[in-house]
Amino acid sequence: MARLLITGGAGFIGSHTCVVLLQAGHELVVIDNFHNSCPEACRRVERLTGRTLVLEQADVRDGPRLNSVFDRHGRFDGVIHFAGLKAVGESVKEPLLYWHVNVCGSRTLLQAMAAHGCRTLVFSSSATLYGNPDSNPIAETAPIRPVNPYGQSKAAVERMSRDVAESQPGCKGWRLACLRYFNPVGAHPSGEIGEAPQGIPDNLFPFISQVAMGERSSLDVFGGDWPTPDGSGVRDYIHVMDLAAGHCVTLEHLLDGQPQLLTLNLGSGCGTSVLQALAAFERVVGRSIPHRIVARRPGDVAMTVADPGRAAAVLGWQTERTLAEMCADGWHWQQRNPLGFG
Ligand code: UFG
């Protein structure tokens, strides 16, 4: 059992990870500023697991507040850092905001950790930092070439983590992991927690769900002329519960191991096109979902698929849930919670 601080634990990936961590017996203090999340997610995590967690409103940019969290809750064995902004389009319009929240927030957190003798951190990175890859599947050794400020901010925090880890021989006692997520989708199979985007969803699965619910009239498929088998964009979708399990095993691996910096892809290794994802969703819903093929979305790439071999070798972790389960669980959540947590 470990005592853990979870930043952004009320958000989509954070809340699912809290379920897995509580079920594994860990004790959690969650901080969140509720910018894109709400406390109800954590209440539902408690109901689902039959366990309690401590939840506090706090912003990772607020150093005195972070220090007070560390002071009041005693020693943490480790931190999982989800808190941050994640909308690619918004990051292009508001780059300074992304650098402030994602980069300065991470720096403030690392500083508070160092001041309190906590040197184990799992960081939410992203496959977005590979940009337009030279080839697929993408290994962790591929060049880092982010094409938007969101990706730049993730690359900067990875760089900062490396500097911290290398700041003295022997990693100065730091145990750090940067987890590069591919495309997380789906929801907890109970339908109690899931993704609750505000406004018009940017991402494919929430958009398909809302069209299937009749909240939106049609899905725009961005591009039918990509150099892919059916012309639509290919991604590596990963069930959020598999991703959550990946965090739990990473954290336990770090706590059991030597000081180190670990960089891992978390993906399935399988590519799915937009049209294949849509067809899978239609099979779950039992009817066709209106869509039309439109121009490519600026900034998109044809294909990103993970090489998940390192995570399998180091952690013994691999994805278990299928595309059909991603669709079924996401649809279940959407039907039970048409207004999200509100
Ligand atoms: N797409 C559509 N229509 C939509 C939305 C998306 O056709 O309405 C297509 C996109 O063009 C792309 C695929 O669906 O081919 C997936 O798009 P998403 O917006 O769901 O996801 P992205 O791959 O663009 O990016 C996501 C997250 C990033 C993260 C990245 C990791 O938004 O934050 O995955 O690979 F970094």
- Domains contained in the chain, CATH given: 3-186+238-267 (3.40.50.720), 204-235+270-306+322-336 (3.90.25.10)
For residue 116, pLDDT over 60 is answered with yes
Q: What is the DSSP string of 98-112?
A: HIIIIIIHHHHHHHH
For residue 265, pLDDT over 70 is answered with yes
Banded model confidence at residue 169, pLDDT cuts 50, 70, 90:
low
Give CA–CA dist 263/77, Å, rounded.
20
Mean pLDDT, range 260-264, rounded to an integer:
97
173-185: pLDDT as tens digits: 899 999 999 999 9
127-148: pLDDT as tens digits: 999 999 999 999 999 999 999 9
C-beta pairs of 212-217 under 8 Å, 24+ apart in sequence: 212/281, 212/285, 212/289, 212/331, 212/334, 213/334, 213/335, 213/338, 215/338, 217/290
User: Residue 199's pLDDT is what?
Assistant: 87
For residue 299, pLDDT over 90 is answered with no
User: How far, in Å, from the CA of 228 to the mean position of ligand 1?
Assistant: 15
Question: Which two structure tokens, joined as six digits, stand for 327?
Answer: 């669709």
2-16, 189-203, 272-286: least confidently modelled range:
189-203
Q: Measure Cα distances from 132 to 129, 230, 268, 313, 324 in Å.
A: 9, 19, 19, 26, 27
For residue 170, pLDDT over 70 is answered with no
For residue 22, pLDDT over 60 is answered with yes
User: How far, in Å, from the CA of 254 to the mean position of ligand 1?
Assistant: 31
- Residue showing tokens 């009817």: 287
Pocket of ligand 1 (CB under 6 A): 86, 88, 126-128, 182-183, 202-204, 207, 219-222, 233, 235, 274, 297, 300, 304
Query: pLDDT > 90: what percent of the chain?
Result: 94
Mean pLDDT, range 197-217, rounded to an integer:
94
Banded model confidence at residue 298, pLDDT cuts 50, 70, 90:
confident
Bridge partners (DSSP) of residue 31 are: 7, 56
201 burial via Cβ count (<10 Å: 0-12, 13-18, 19+): middle
30-88: pLDDT as tens digits: 999 999 999 999 999 999 999 999 999 999 999 999 999 999 998 999 999 999 999 98
Question: Which two structure tokens, joined as six digits, stand for 262?
Answer: 């670990």
Bridge partners (DSSP) of residue 183 are: 237
25 burial via Cβ count (<10 Å: 0-12, 13-18, 19+): exposed
What's the mean pLDDT when you consider all of the chain?
96
User: Residue 198's pLDDT is what?
Assistant: 86
- Cβ density class 216-253: b for 16+ within 10 Å, e for less: beebebbbbebebeebbbbbbbbbbbbbbbbbbbbbbb
Smallest CA separation from ligand 1 atom 1, residue: 204
User: Residue 171's pLDDT is what?
Assistant: 54
Banded model confidence at residue 156, pLDDT cuts 50, 70, 90:
very high
User: Residue 251's pLDDT is what?
Assistant: 98
User: Residue 167's pLDDT is what?
Assistant: 84
User: How far, in Å, from the CA of 296 to the mean position of ligand 1?
Assistant: 12
